[in-house]
Amino acid sequence: GLVGETPAAPSVATKGASQQRWCKRCQLYQPLRTKHCYDCNRCVRTHDHHCPWLGTCVGENNRPLFYCFLCLQALELACFFVEGVQGISILEPSVILVVGLLLIAVFFIMSFCLLTFHSFLLLANLTTWEHISWTRISYLKHLSSERGSPFGRSMRDNVCMYCCSPAWCPERLRRCAALRRDDDGGTSWELSEQRPPNCLVRCCGDNC
C-alpha cells in the first residue's frame, strides 16, 4: 500500500470459536447474527429485518416488542371485525360498513400470517434474515437448514432467549435464559450442534 495509508482490516477475524466479519461501512467486526442495514446505515445485532412501516430495524433489542405489536394488532383487528359484524343490519346492510369489514378482514389475515411466521422464528430461534438468506450467510451456508438453527435449543429455551436477549432485560432473567453478554453489552451468540426441529416447529415452518 501507499506510505501513510491505513492498513485495511482483515475481512474475517476469529474470536473464541466463531468468526466475525468486518463491516467496511461501520469499521467494526460484526458479532454473530449481526447485519449491516443500509436503510438505517448501521450494524444491527441479531438482525431480523428492516420494517418500512415502523421505519426502523427489528433486531436484538426490540424483537419481543415487535412480536407484542403483532399480537395486539391482530387482536385489535379481530375485535373491530366482530363489532362491525354485530352492527350490520340484514334487511338494510350498509355498503360502507361491508366494505370496511372486508378491508379489516384482509388486514387481519395479513397480520395473522405475519404473526404465525414470527411465532415459527421464535420457536426455532431464527431470524427472518437467517431463514431467507441461509445459503448466503457465512456462518450458516455450510450447514443444512433442514437440521434447524445452530443457535436453537428446546422450545422453552428458545422462547426465553427470544424474550430475554434485549440489553434492557434484567440480568436475572438473562441468566435464566442462559445468555451471556459480550464486552459491548450485547448477547454473545455461539454456534452449537444443530437440533432437528420438533413436529410443531416443522409444521409452522412448512406453512410459512
**Dist. CA 7–CA 90, nearest whole Å:** 76
- Do 95 and 179 meet the contact criterion of CB atoms below 8 Å apart? no
Instruction: Report residue 68 as a C-alpha cell.
Output: 407484542
Nearest to 60 by CA among 36, 26, 34: 34
Q: What is each CA distance from 170 to 69, 158, 173, 181, 205, in whole angstroms?
A: 21, 17, 6, 12, 31
Residues with Cβ within 8 Å of residue 118, at least 6 apart in sequence: 66, 67, 70
Catalytic residue among 23, 37, 51, 169: 51
Instruction: Report the chain's terminal Cα–Cα distance, integer Å.
Output: 50
Tell me the C-alpha to C-alpha distance, in Å, between residue 200 and each of 39, 129, 194: 34, 21, 17
Cell numbers 361491508 correspond to: 98
Residue 77: CB partners within 8 Å, gap ≥ 6? Answer: 104, 107, 108, 111
51 is catalytic: yes
- Among all residues, which ones are annotated catalytic? 51
